[in-house]
Structure 1
């Protein structure tokens, strides 16, 4: 009986471990790209405009993203330098406010009535929540050839708490760079 209990617990852990809010959208290496041909990297300057990028919270998250990328590249055998890197790292970030909806159903929800004399019944989208979806686009550029040699895109749901956000950033970069 205990064996069944433990097997059920292991199955539950595996099922919940597979549910992630982060997914790799695409990875695209250049022809003949091999990471072992490079030893060092550096980050390109990140330019931003508007109100949000000027906030301290935004800057701290950019630093957290760079730190996560750096740890993944160090794990792959590269090291960060300030001058004359073999690879330049370019990062693009987009955060979109999204609305989660559900559709009313004539069978289970009361239908929506439209019109005075022209009767029609419709199902409609009902907003049920707001969330933020973040997308990170990472480009590895060979500065000697001035050519992009690898591109990866990852996206996920961004939690509101900063400590959970750091976990999502680390998870996303680990998944992305596993494809490198």
Structure 2
């Protein structure tokens, strides 16, 4: 009986830790006939990352780390990188935006505008409590021969402030993206 209780506790702990992940996978979509195992080679589409003037500039080492992680995930699934007529083209999109975290000072729904004999004011408003960067990675796999999109997914997460932690977040995000390729569609 003790053994079953320990197993139950471990299972619940693993579930809670995986549920607390800071990376969310969004908008995963595959073509009806997509099967990753039918492809043998891949390469990255040219000029597929970067930012415009309204977005945060992404350091080249982060883009290289992202491409390295995508390569590892595809190689783990049996594909090899080839620059001459690859079966799949990988199109990466990266957006990093500055976000503001706020809290509302309205603790009650019917807070008065002024109270007290000397007209002390209590105005409901949002107060900035912090700033952070949120990154979104979009990954598209394109059948090179037919020039058609066969699989796409997006992941978003808060970008760590320490650059030493960014690599770990990139690895975790890319791994989560590739976990969303269901066994029926290619693993």
TM-score range, shorter chain: 0.7 to 0.9
Q: Tell me, in whole angstroms, the C-alpha distance in 2 between the residues paired with 1:13 and 1:127.
A: 34
- The aligned residue for residue 23 of structure 1 is 24
Does 1:93 find its partner at 2:91?
no
Greater shift in the superposed pair: 92-101 or 119-128:
119-128
Structural RMSD (CA): 3.1
- The aligned residue for residue 103 of structure 1 is 104
Does 1:131 find its partner at 2:129?
no
- Offset at residue 16 of structure 1 (A): 4.0
- Offset at residue 105 of structure 1 (A): 2.9
The runs of at least 4 consecutive aligned structure 1 residues that moved more than 6 Å come to none
Query: How is 1:75-86 mapped onto 2 (pairs within 5 angstroms)?
Result: 75-86=76-87
- Offset at residue 17 of structure 1 (A): 4.6
Would you say the 8 A contact 1:104–1:111 is kept in 2? no
Unpaired stretches in structure 1, ≥5 consecutive residues: 114-118
Between the two proteins, the alignment pairs up a number of residues equal to 170
Tell me the TM-score normalised to structure 2 length.
0.78
The secondary structure found in structure 1 opposite 2:59 is: helix
Query: How is 1:154-173 mapped onto 2 (pairs within 5 angstroms)?
Result: 154-173=155-174
The secondary structure found in structure 1 opposite 2:84 is: coil
Q: 1:111 to 1:93 in 2, by over 3 A?
A: farther
Tell me the TM-score normalised to structure 1 length.
0.80
Partner deviation per Cα, 1:96-150 (whole Å, 9 max, x = no partner) = 100111111345xx9765xxxxx98542211100000000111101111011111
The secondary structure found in structure 2 opposite 1:97 is: strand
Partner deviation per Cα, 1:43-86 (whole Å, 9 max, x = no partner) = 01235455964xxx710000000011111111111111111100
Would you say the 8 A contact 2:100–2:128 is kept in 1? yes
- The aligned residue for residue 116 of structure 1 is none
